[in-house]
Chain A
Amino acid sequence: MAELAVETHQLRKRFGDKLAVADLSLSVRRGEVFGFLGPNGAGKTTSIKMLLGLIEPSAGRGTMLGRPIGDRRTRARVGFLPEHFRFQDWLTGRELLRFHGRLFGLSGHALEAKADTLLARVDLLDSADRPIAGYSKGMTQRVGLAQALLNDPDIVFLDEPTSGMDPLGRLLVRDLIRELRAHGTSVFLNSHLLGEVEATCDRVVFVKQGRVVHELDLAAQAIGLEVELRVEGAPHDVLAAHGTVLERGESRARLRVADEQALPALAAALVQAGARLYAMTPYRRSLEDTFLEVMGEDQRPG
């Protein structure tokens, strides 16, 4: 079994004279929950569609589950919930799962049982036999999620999977992603909800104009702890010995430290050096802070 679920080299997509994806090189490991982050128009959805064979790349290459991207048979092991989740809305939820199950090559009892299990899992058993046209946005997205899992995929692509959901629906998706990871399924998550990404992803990459500009291993390293100090007469070398100094003024300083264990030592060192310490406030950097830092000031909402 290859170690990588997805690997791409310099994938590029041009629509006319518009460059949607400039140069996408990334790798997704087997069994990890992979976050794909970036502002609107960064080419995230186009990238996913290239991986799934919905759009032909203009240049570059890639593999998914060990086969070239776009390979038809590989898609039997892939699940996909599109950003614009629209289905044959004259079908009932159950009929939709039957149809897509057949396209996956399932049939008979196995298909019926799978559909039942998934309908129950996404909390749609009560509405399973009503036409999708009468579903709310959240329900439609949940049936779409079930559709993506019919084949017990090795990798699932979820493009903004909670955009139409209420908080309970979001929680359901979060739990589902955890279950998938527990089963060894790779999840490729494209989401704007950074809190959600932070809670579920093992690793994230940041894309800007169709290029990966930053990678962060959320599982291995904490994004970091920042501490704000109200202090007078703190020598710079004492501060620098305990973390990265981000800001330093007459009576205040801000630095990044490795973890909470660094705080008592820092306090003791400052007092010992004769500084007057009035307050010390640690706060955890969110993924959002990192996102804004990585994307830079020039990124206006696209």
Chain B
Amino acid sequence: MSALLTVMHLTLHEAARRRVLVATLIGAAGFLVLYGVGFHFVAARVAEEAGPIVVRQRMLLNLLTLAGLYATHFLTLMTAVLLPVDTLSGEIASGVAQTVASKPVRRSTIVLGKWLAFSLVAVTYFAIVSGGVLLIARLFGDFTPPGLAQGLPLMALEAVVFVSISIAGGARLSTVTNGILAFGLYGLAFIGGWVEQVGTLAGNLAAQNVGTVASLLLPTEALWQRAAYFMQPSIMRDLQMSPFSSGALPSAVMVWWAVGYAVVAVLLGVQGFRKRAL
């Protein structure tokens, strides 16, 4: 237990010392400022455009807030993949891992300590950015989307899934290969999600199946779709008019699939690192 905390502590310390955290926070702050300014001006127009029709006002504000959360989703997954992408592969390649692994510590402890630390950072990052987006919507548009209690945890789970993939890849692959693989998987799920969405609109079963297969390969996009579904007013779901989400609600089974996916990824990471010649 104490070794696990030591590895976790060192990992967090490293993120802070190497200015990774500062860089991430500066990026987040930049995004929030831009989003805030944009939201401020658009919200002012919304009142004029929509006139007295409250439903239309709320639809526009929701669209704007979902756009912010979609950007949050993307920033979070980038952060979650990039933060730990070289933590194992880099230490193996440089030889740093040799002195650590020759101590009386289980290799699984090293992997789990890093995974916990980076999951914590990624989820905290997500909390800060999504909190900022929601605060801006509240301040400038007096708007809070529905279903946050259901939606936000799903997005946090997404961050953990990406951290797990990045750690698992790092146990076996070089840093570059690992990064390419993680983003490749993301691209696949992203396109799969769109194909599914269009397929649903067009009533094309084959296209929907393509989307389902992509979601099985990487369930994060489905998590986002499910989160977005909860966080939009029912009228928008019915009209299927949001570009950021689907009219169809991805199955709850997909959430369990994502949890299992993260667990298996971490276990593969542990196994990969345990067998690895250092």
Q: Which residues of A contact B (CB under 8 A)?
A: 15, 49, 52-56, 72-76, 78, 80, 82, 84-88, 90-91, 99-100, 102-105, 107, 144, 147
Contacts and interface: CB of A to CB of B under 8 A. Distances in A.
Given A53-B102, A75-B104, A82-B99, 14 more contacts: A54-B98, A56-B277, A72-B104, A72-B105, A76-B104, A80-B98, A87-B99, A90-B17, A91-B13, A99-B10, A102-B3, A102-B6, A103-B6, A103-B103
A153 to B, nearest CB: 11
A147 B17 contact: no
Contact of A103 (B3, B13, B277, B278): B3
B94 interface: yes
A290 B10 CA distance: 47
B14 interface: yes
Given A86-B94, A87-B96, A88-B10, A105 B277 contact: no
The 8 closest A-B CB pairs, nearest first, are: A103-B103, A76-B104, A84-B95, A102-B6, A86-B95, A54-B278, A75-B104, A55-B277
A105 B2 contact: yes
Contact of B96 (A15, A88, A103): A88
Contacts of A147: 99
Interface string B101-118: 111111000000000000
The DSSP consensus for interface residues of chain B is helix
Given A82-B99, A86-B95, A103 B14 contact: no
Contacts of B100: 100, 103
The interface size bin for chain B is: 20 to 34
A104 B99 contact: no
B277 A49 contact: yes
Interface of B: 2-3, 6, 10, 13-14, 17-18, 94-96, 98-106, 275, 277-278
Given A55-B278, A56-B275, A103-B3, A75 B18 contact: no
Contacts of B275: 56
B277 to A, nearest CB: 5
A144 B6 contact: no
Contacts of B101: 53-54
A107 B18 CA distance: 25
B2 A102 contact: yes
Nearest to A51: B102
Contacts of B104: 72-76, 103-105
A104 B6 CA distance: 11
16 contacts: A53-B102, A75-B103, A76-B103, A78-B102, A80-B99, A82-B99, A86-B94, A86-B96, A87-B96, A88-B14, A91-B13, A100-B100, A100-B103, A103-B6, A103-B100, A144-B99
